[in-house]
Structure formats: C-alpha cells, structure tokens
Homo-oligomer: A and B are copies of this chain.
Amino acid sequence: MKATIITIGDEILIGQITDTNSGFIAKALNKIGVDVHEMISISDDKNHILETFAKVQNQVDFVIITGGLGPTKDDITKITFCDYFLDTLERNEAVENHIVALFTKMNFVVSQVNLDQALVPSKCTVLQNNFGTAPGMWMQKENTVFVSLPGVPYEMKAIVTNELIPKIVNEYKRPYILHKTILTYGQGESIVAKRIEEWEDKLPTFVKLAYLPSPGRVRLRLSARGLEEYFLHTTINRLVTELQEIINDIIVGFEEDESIEVVLGKLLAQKGFTLSTAESCTGGKISEVITSVSGSSAYFRGSIVSYATDTKVSILKVNQSTINAYSVVSKQVAEEMACGAQKLLQTDFAIATTGNAGPAKGDADATVGTVCLAIATPKGVCSEVYNFGQPRQKVIDRAVNKGLELLLKEILKNY
C-alpha cells in the first residue's frame, strides 16, 4: 500500500517553519507496511490544493494532509475538502462537546471561532483530537482515502497514533516491512562504502541498503520487504551479523533508530553508573541531550555550565595556574573541568568541554572551531582536541556527539 503526505501552509514554502510532521507520519505508516510515495508541501491556496488532490487521486491508497485546519482566516483546508468531495459543512456534536469541555477545563471562554471548529464535512469520519480543537477528518473518493489532520505537531501525533494507525491496521491488509539501522562512528561515508562494497553487492533483491550520513557518524539502514515475517527477520539478522564482522572496529551501536544518548543511558542505568557534565562551548547541550531521555534522572546528576572563564575556577575548582599556563581552551583545562564536575556532583563519570565555537575568537587564543573534550572516569581522566570548523551550530553539535561517543567507547572498552 502507498501513501502521499501533503503539507499545506505558506509558512513552510517561505521557509519560516520546518515540516517535521511528514517525517513522523511517514515513520508511523512505514511501521505498518504503508510506503510513502511522495511528500508534497503546497500553499494555503484553494486551487493549488484542489489541483494537488486531483494529481494524487488513485495514484496512492492514502493521502495524509496536515495543516490548514487552525481557527484563523488563512486556514482553508476544510472548505476545500467540501469542494473536492462535493459536500457541505455540518456541526458535529461530539466535536463541539469536546471543544466546550477543553475550554472549560482550562478556564477559558469558548469563542465562536473555536466553536466553528466543530463544523466538518457531513460525509467525513471524525478522528478525535484529544489535545486540541480541530478534529481529524477521513474521507474516501474512488480508490483513495484522504485524511486531513491539524498541523500542530502534538495534536497531529496523538491523532495519528491513537486514531489513524489503529484504523488502517484494523481495516486494511498490508505487506511486512522490516528496517534495521546500524550506527557507525568515526569514519566517513566513502570509507564505510568501500569496506562493505563486496557485502553490499551480494544483498538479496528484497533488501535495500541506504547510507544516512550526519556529522561524525554514518547510519546504515537495511530494509527488507515481503510476506514472510520470520524469513525477513532471519535474513536481516544474518546480514547484520555479517556487517558487524566487516566493520567491527568502527561500529558502536546497532539498535534501530536509537540515538547515542538512549544507548548511553541504557548502558549507564544497566551498570549502575552516574554521570555529570562540565560544559563551556557546548553551553549545556550535552546535559540537555542526556536529559531529553525519560528516566535519565536514574543516572544523570547534573551539569555545571561554566561559560565565563572565572566560573571554571570558582565553581569547578580549575587551577588558575593551569589556565595561565595552557589557556582556557586546552586539554589540561578540560581535564580539570571534568574532574571538578565529577567531584562536585559526585558521579562516576563526567564529560567536559572547552572550546571556541565561533564565529569570533573568544577569551582564548584557540582557533575558531577548536574543542577540547575530557572524560573523567573512576580510573582517571582522558582528553582529546578537535577542530570542527564552522559554523557555530555545527561545532556545538559535533562536540556534543563526540563527547557522548568518547564516553560510550570508554565504558564499552573498560567497564
């Protein structure tokens, strides 16, 4: 089965907001064996919407539309739905009751604008929106089902998870798709590609391989498709084992879609270790990434973001003489910061960063892009120096990744 995802909204076409909805929907559809054929972003313009509907009609089984359902004047999806399906708007009592209940709970007065969100095409099946006022709408024309969802991510996600996916699973037969993603660290795309060339050439035709490079790492995704679930599983497992043997010196994690902070968190929790960070150029982002994982309070105790140089001395107890001798951006200072956080926050491990993210030169003489990373462990402290170039955000992101990676390698190797 195939789907096309349409996002409606001028704000996307002028680049003011990034469409993250389509990716979420694609992932959810993929898991139940529905392939996404295309993703299309179009304007809040009735004719443009109608033309696009006509183009995708009968080309795919499902058309999932997000955006254009808010209470304001630039949202016109609902009216366009009526045009396309030759239908009229009708007040839906269940939706109206839900809107009134939602506003009452928040102690807000319900306006007419809000109440009008209960107007839906008379022939549509409503998909309940527990987190907002605009309901999802499911309508069929010939061989294609059109589903319209609100653009607010939290609302859209809840409807997809609780209403749309269960409805498709219950009402349609689908093939089986299995994805397995292998995370590799420390080598670029072309080097990884050369290493696995021979293995790749022998892949069965029902298995596809994709390279997903991002700063400092390459993910390899294997996708297998067929009707025999057990056969797909054994094939993929065999291929992953072969792959691990070929690139075992550069691979670190190999769980489907698991980010490094999740892998690291599981490892820390499992081994009963605690962690802290001492951050300068990363500004708290390592801490933020670690605590984005729910349950992180089991192993993460805190962070000192010592952005100003003197706070490295006053709080983390870095020696002023070390700063004078080696400069604030140095392996020595990074090591003292890591040990300082480890001691102050009483943790087994600590990650520390000091560097110059740019664009201008900071307090220190370090070249723009230079980052010193240190890992304090129960057995001592180690450090590395990198230059991540520019721009600023890239330097910060790569320092965060590299810090997590160094810690992960250290724990896997020595603990």
A binding-site residues for B, Cβ under 8 Å: 9-20, 22-28, 30, 35-44, 70-74, 111, 113-114, 131, 152, 154, 179, 181, 189-191, 193-194, 200, 208-214, 219, 221, 223, 257, 277, 279, 282-288, 290-292, 294-297, 300-308, 311, 314-315, 344-345, 357-360, 362-363, 389, 391-394, 396
Contact = CB atoms under 8 A, between A and B. Distances in A.
B302 A311 contact: yes
Contact of A70 (B211, B291, B294, B389): B211
Given A16-B181, A315-B345, 15 more contacts: A13-B39, A15-B28, A15-B30, A73-B209, A74-B208, A74-B211, A283-B296, A284-B303, A287-B287, A287-B288, A288-B288, A291-B305, A294-B359, A302-B307, A315-B344
A27 B14 contact: yes
Given A12-B39, A297-B362, A305 B287 contact: yes
A14 B189 CA distance: 20
A25 B15 CA distance: 7
7 contacts: A10-B208, A10-B223, A13-B26, A37-B43, A72-B193, A287-B288, A302-B308
A17 B212 contact: yes
Contacts of A292: 283, 392-393, 396
A48 B304 CA distance: 51
Nearest to A152: B213
Contact of A257 (B16, B36, B74, B314): B16
Q: How would you classify the secondary structure of chain A's contact residues: helix, strand, loop or mixed?
A: mixed
Given A27-B15, A394-B154, A71 B305 contact: no
- Kindly name the residue among A18, A200, A284, A286 whose own CB sees the greatest number of chain B CB atoms within 10 A: A284
A300 B279 CA distance: 13
A222 to B, nearest CB: 12
B23 A12 contact: yes
Contact of A288 (B39, B284, B362): B284
Nearest to A306: B302
Contacts of A290: 283
Given A22-B41, A41-B39, A359-B294, A73 B193 contact: yes
